[in-house]
Chains A and B, each alone.
Chain A
């Protein structure tokens, strides 16, 4: 008896062990990077690691007048050490993000200090760059020295801290992320709505068609799905650009003058059209799988009970497809708020989404912390949406096919 218990436990363990590769895979490829990115958005120890003593001294400094000589001395020594260690650039980058202009101050100062012998490091530093005579420079160092920081999240919602540490709005010329997030959410809603509008009749047709025709239609939906994203997106460029097929046709038909060509791409319109096309299968497939489970008899039954087609549809069919619409919308919406390639290719200036800004900070400005904070906000949006969906509809009613 005891033997069988042990044997069955062993079998269960063995079965559980089969999932280990997947768990490890998800851990390594998803959870670990996610955590590391989220950590990066609030944890930035570069300055604290490179200039530990200086930062410790600045913490007890009142922030009003220039710090004492000891601070200058320590800072000079640690800047030189950082130059040797080749971490100075990272320190400079971090401080420069708080107070633009300090990068060159820091690198120049370190370069000059390496060549001087002096008793007064205060004078030597101020000699190297005037900025050291400004308390604001030292305040910037103190802020940069905070390893745990909300700076990036503030920045990600167009806020900043002023000299006294209060939260203030960014100057208007630099505000971008809130409006971009708003645009992203708005476009995602529009794309989701378009996907429902276009996907519903297709899914209905596929679900109600006889199997062989239905499979053919399904294939027509799936073939684009299997086609490379880039190919699909660039084919929209071919169609929609000002010298593209549609404009050429309209001009050839005389509906448009050669100088009145419509701009249908490289703007918000391009993003909406191309993304709707790209994401349509994610709407059609869950819808189709839900519709397939609705017996066609229901519509007949409703008709036999005296309901018009409209009434049968809205009261009997439509409510039963809501789980599919919910699942499809959730999928499309979540995918579109994180979409990146298509807007980058066809979005032009006004069709860029928050994800393109994240990519920009990952690839161009190298401000990974800000990218992580923006990503964190996006993640929070998705989680909030999921919880809302769960509250309103119930996630267990979601049918993905």
Chain B
């Protein structure tokens, strides 16, 4: 993957509508050729603005965007040769599916026979052969989605942007389409920049995910790395469940540190360099916490009182308090774990490597 050359580059890009508050700030991002990169974040985090700047519908207030090594500041959207799938598909309701697909080809002055052939190929790609004479209004949501994707691909762009394309679909269809989009992207080898606020979608589809918050990228990494090795509290909590403990660095030894949390010492793995006395957040995945019947099994062990338990089939979810903070534990549903009841006091523990001392979030004021 790393061998692929960079195709899209955001270089210190910022965007402000009113000149005061910045929607996107000092953004550096590289999308590699053939990569499926997702911009993930809550609404208002700047991910859609980034996409629109890339498509050319918004102009950056600062910095530069390069596509294929060429700065595109002065290139209007229609000349950027980027396929785009919009949130509500933006299919043209007065045209048939066939004419929707032919539209970008005709705009490029392509010959009639070539157009027809390309349209057929695109329909085949999204498995909608025989639908060319229908109007968008006569199609189901999923079918419209496929047409929108086909239209974005039919003129064979090197880069396709998708702006929350699955938001309007129900869950089952959404999963099916996630797979479908991934299949198409792989078979064509096209570069995709995908925007979503749904972290499972991002995890399922992407080669890499850029997590946005406050107009900045908090972390860019492949999904499994984001999950296993979050670098900042926002990423740790946005992707999957996580327990956060806030404390102050007590001592540092190579990549291990001791952190004082509410008067107790927790041993953690250092993600970024920290100094003694600095404030720090610790992230511990609920499923990485174990019940420890005997003391001394884990480097971090606490006696806690279980406030509440929820049975969720494959696992048990327990609510408790550790070092003064709310704390969740997920225990696999195996023999011996069912005996814990609310009100019981148990010993829990986790290893140093499962407890990550995170770098601070990149906030809005920085």
Contacts and interface: CB of A to CB of B under 8 A. Distances in A.
Direct contact of A and B (CB under 8 A): yes
Interface string A267-285: 0000000000000000000
A195 B5 CA distance: 56
Interface string B27-39: 0000000000000
Interface stretch (B73-81, B138-146, B178-186, B287-295): B73-81
Interface in A99-150: none
A327 to B, nearest CB: 16
Contacts of A295: 88, 90
A278 to B, nearest CB: 32
A315 B77 contact: no
B311 interface: no
Given A300-B86, A320-B93, A305 B57 contact: no
A320 B92 CA distance: 9
B348 to A, nearest CB: 51
Interface string A281-319: 000000000000001011011111111100100011001
Instruction: Assign chain A's interface to a size class.
Output: 10 to 19
B103 A298 contact: no
Nearest to A317: B92
Contact of A308 (B55, B78, B93, B103): B78
Interface in A305-362: 305-308, 311, 315-316, 319-320
Contacts of A300: 55, 57, 77, 84, 86, 90
B86 A320 contact: no
B94 interface: yes
Which of A298, A301, A304 gathers most chain B CB within 10 Å?
A: A304
Nearest to A306: B107
B94 A304 contact: no
B234 interface: no
A396 to B, nearest CB: 14
B155 interface: yes
Given A315-B103, A319-B94, A304 B88 contact: no
A300 B58 CA distance: 11
Interface of A: 295, 297-298, 300-308, 311, 315-316, 319-320
Name the 3 nearest CB pairs between A and B, nearest first: A305-B104, A301-B90, A304-B84
7 contacts: A295-B90, A300-B55, A300-B57, A303-B56, A304-B55, A304-B83, A319-B94
Given A302-B107, A305-B107, 6 more contacts: A301-B84, A302-B92, A302-B103, A303-B56, A303-B78, A320-B93
